[in-house]
Structure 1
Amino acid sequence: MAVKAEQVTQNQTLQEKLWFRGQILRTIRDYFFEEKVVEVDTPIMSQFGNPDPALLNFITPYNGPGKLYQHSMFLITSPEYHMKRLLAYGAGSCYYLGKVFRDGEISKRHNPEFTMLEWYRLDYDLERLMQEVISLIKLVSGKALEVEFYSYLEAFKKILGVNPFEMDLEALVALIQAQNIALTFELRDRDEALDLIVSHLIEPAFDPEKITMLYHYPASQASLSKIVTIDGYPVGKRFEAYWQGLELANGYEELTNSQEQRARFMAENIQRTNIGYDAVPIDELLLEVLDQVPFCSGVALGVDRLLMAMKGSSEIKDVIPFGFEES
């Protein structure tokens, strides 16, 4: 049977996509092998969920024997909790390259199942980890990219002429309305308003041809990072990396205080219930050992997003073998 020219083209396009993806994964693994950072294979199901109110967890019941019989199991939104347990046990600097899962996230830039590169470096502060993220993006892309750095405060002042740390929710909403951003839902708090401003006004102002590092987020958005005071404002030692109009990475100088982390988990669960989500079980196994985690910084990088940036693609389906609705 003759093979149609259209089918040959489709096959070639698929093979090119798969080889491109495979070569990037190989480059990443080769880099960490040379750096003596060990690859770890963590569980993708956990008895504990992620309480972050911005995330929805996939949940499935376990019907087998054992102490977790009929227990709700959570597909991981990140390997972070397991990796920090490994750090506490003495694993040393390590990385994970594999699947993670987030319910309710599907768009041209989002797939509910996606590939994440997450790594932790012992004795790295935030600034040193930012430099490694930049180096890795340059290595994988094969481009000598320029880099810009903005603190959260600097970005708002330069791009919008305002100080976000001194604006209440009413002032932030007024700013959003003045910029003609259509609000299709009621903003519940300052952080939701700030996130909207960053995504609609700050990020689009970044030069897409440069890697942009945005760092020192408000303390209320510190998540699992340390909090320090900079320019009189409490900020999280956190950064995000952008390139080609895409958020690629989110990193922290890691909090290793179990009492503080427990308080943050509990506060996040309260936020979840306030917005109509179910609270999730707090990861007690992590909290048991968090104080033993050595000084380190860690970052999660969306591999599919990085491939999109390299290919100049506007849709995640262009760089993955199967989209969610094809799975």
Structure 2
Amino acid sequence: MTTEPTSPKRFPDRDEIAAVRDECEPLAAGEDAGSVRRIAGRAMARRDMGKLVFLDVVDRSGRIQVICETATTGEIDVLLGDVVGIGGRPARSRRGEPSLLADTVEVLARNTRSLPDTFHGLTDVEVRYRRRYLDLLVNEETRNDFILRARIVSAVRAYLDGEGFVEVETPVLQPRYGGAFARPFVTHHNELERDLYLRIATELYLKRLIVGGLERVYELGKDFRNEGISFKHNPEFTMLEWYEAYADYRDTMERIETLVETVTLQVLGTTDVRFRGNELSLARPWRRVGFADALAEHGLWIRDEAGLRAALDARGVDTSADRDWAQLVDHAFSHAVEPTLVQPTIVHDYPVEISPFARATDGDPTMTERFEYFAGGMELGNAFSEINDAATQQERFDMQSQQVEGERGDPDYVEALSYGMPPTGGLGFGIDRFVMLLTGRETIRDVVLFPALR
């Protein structure tokens, strides 16, 4: 039988290190505050100078020097990486360093392994992703990025809650997958004796709630797509979707601009960010351009399949996997246009062939009231004026089944629409990519705590 360690089970009444540092600010060199504070954290450095031992202790709020006079504290049995609890007085050292003069030092958890280089941080990218706990432990920037991510998510929720939206939860395991063109992950339920799918989008369930009268709903959670991995793709990712009754895609454009500006200002104090070597302003209003016009600027708005394929082939683009005009035009846009959309841009009015859930525009039934929005050369999300007519939606499902092998549509969703859905504006927003922009990180792996790896 293993003997249980005798380290303390708790360390109550703890002060954050940042608050203790603030108490040190008005003090003169060599002066202490007199009051006793208790901190806990990890010992990330130790310096022995005779009867004085200096520890650098870190918690999630910051770092502080701890001055231990062994005549007061006794021998300091603290190793690099140990978790310690310390009671003492806020002070400034003789050199003016914000410090804590220790009265008591307790080891709360013993580190039994060598830490990575605590001066340069953990630089091995593979280790950082596979052992995120070590990355967080030694890299302050990583800790700050994920704390900022949490603040971004909270600010998104606060904005939508303040606008009268209701946060809901819809199934992650779904009997039918839909709401996007994507390959799902498939699993099997033994008791029900049926295959189920990890959702690729929350769209069709959220719009059922609009039919049910909730009027403004959103969900912020995980979606899953069994596809490639890249600097902006992870098979498990965080998506915000909202649906707003009595609104269209123009209203939704205004709302996403407002949300991004509001959240960015709240968490950064500015709307200016730096991403992939570019200075971006996320302040509204954003540039708006039609889908056809954006492609025409690159000589690629060609409605004929053979003509578009020839134009792409001439530019060295491999079109062998593109089966029809819909796939070709989507490929043309992602190849030629998307990388150029560095400043925030809304691209609107997409062809019906690649927009199975968007209403047709008033002036041209071959185009839809759909928009995507971009910044830093990558898509942040997708939105439309939703189809609210059951017969039209069934026609689009039929069109989609001809384009995508195995796509079956969703009869239950069509039935829900037959009860009448108000005019509705809906939007999807990639939270991970938004965090990339606000932190300046160039890969999604840096903003997902535990990314998928080979």
TM-score (norm 2): 0.64
Q: Which residue of 1 aligns with 2:350?
A: 217
SS for the counterpart of 2:366 is: strand
Higher strand share: 2
Letter in 2 for 1:170: A
Match of 1:160 in 2: 298
Partner of 2:274: none
Could you list the structure 1 runs, at least 4 aligned residues long, displaced by more than 6 angstroms after superposition. none
Deviation at 1:9, TM superposition (A): 6.0
Deviation digits for residues 245-282 of structure 1, max 9, x if unmatched? 11001001000111221222233223333xxxx344x4
Q: Does 1:61 align with 2:139?
A: no
Partner of residue 164 from structure 2, selected from 19, 26, 36: 36
- Compared with structure 1, are the counterparts of its residues 51 and 306 closer, same or farther at alpha carbon in structure 2 (3 Å cutoff)? closer
Question: Do structure 1's residue 298 and structure 2's residue 426 form an aligned pair?
Answer: yes
Please report how far the alpha carbon of residue 162 of structure 1 lies from its aligned counterpart in structure 2 after TM superposition: 5.2
Alignment of 1:209-248 (within 5 A): 210-230=343-363, 234-248=366-380
1:205–1:11: structure 2 CA closer, same or farther, 3 Å change rule?
closer
Amino acid at match of 2:355: A
Kept after mapping to 1: 8 A contact 2:179/2:203: no
Q: Work out the CA distance in 2 between the residues paired with 1:146 and 1:244.
A: 16
Q: Give the C-alpha shift of residue 145 in structure 1.
A: 5.2
What is residue 80 of structure 2 aligned with on the other side?
Answer: 2
Q: Distance in 1 between matches of 2:315 and 2:449?
A: 38
The aligned runs of 1:139-150 (5 Å cut-off) are: 139-142=262-265, 143=271, 144=283, 147-150=286-289
Letter in 1 for 2:397: F
Could you tell me which residue of structure 2 aligns to residue 24 of structure 1?
Answer: 152
Within the candidate set 175, 190, 209, 2:325 is matched to: 190
2:90 matched to which residue of 1?
Answer: none
| Structure 2 residues not aligned, in runs of 5+ | 1-78, 82-114, 122-133, 266-270, 272-282
The two structures, once aligned, show a CA RMSD in angstroms of: 2.0
Cα distance between partner residues in 2 of 1:15 and 1:313: 13
Q: Distance in 2 between matches of 1:113 and 1:253?
A: 27
- After TM superposition, the score normalised by the length of structure 1 is 0.88
SS at match of 2:361: strand
> Is 2:258–2:284's contact at 8 Å kept on the other side of the alignment?
no
Q: How far, CA to CA, are the matches of 2:315 and 2:328 in structure 1?
A: 13
Distance 1:261 1:316, change over 3 A: same
Percent of aligned pairs with the same residue? 28
Which amino acid counterpart does residue 255 of structure 1 have in structure 2?
I
Could you tell me which residue of structure 2 aligns to residue 287 of structure 1? 414
> Which whole-Å deviations, capped at 9, do the CAs of 1:123-147 have from their partners, x for residues lacking one?
1111111111111111222213551
Q: Secondary structure at the match of 2:219?
A: strand
**Which letter does structure 2 place at the counterpart of 1:172?**
L
**Distance change >3 Å, CA 146–CA 287, structure 1 → 2:** closer
State the AA in 2 paired with 1:288. E
2:254 is matched with: 131
Give the 3 Å change call, closer, same or farther, for CA 145–178 of structure 1 in structure 2: farther
SS at match of 1:324: coil
Q: Quick check: 1:201 aligned with 2:340?
A: no
Displacement of 1:187 in angstroms is 2.3
Deviation at 1:228, TM superposition (A): 2.5
Conserved? CA contact 1:51–1:272, under 8 Å: no
How much does 1:311 deviate?
A: 2.2
Greater helix content: 1
Larger radius of gyration: 2
The alpha-carbon deviation at position 170 of structure 1 amounts to 1.5
By relative contact order (CA 8 Å, sep 6+), the higher-ranking structure is 1
Paired residues for 1:165-176 under 5 Å: 167-176=303-312
How many residues matched? 309
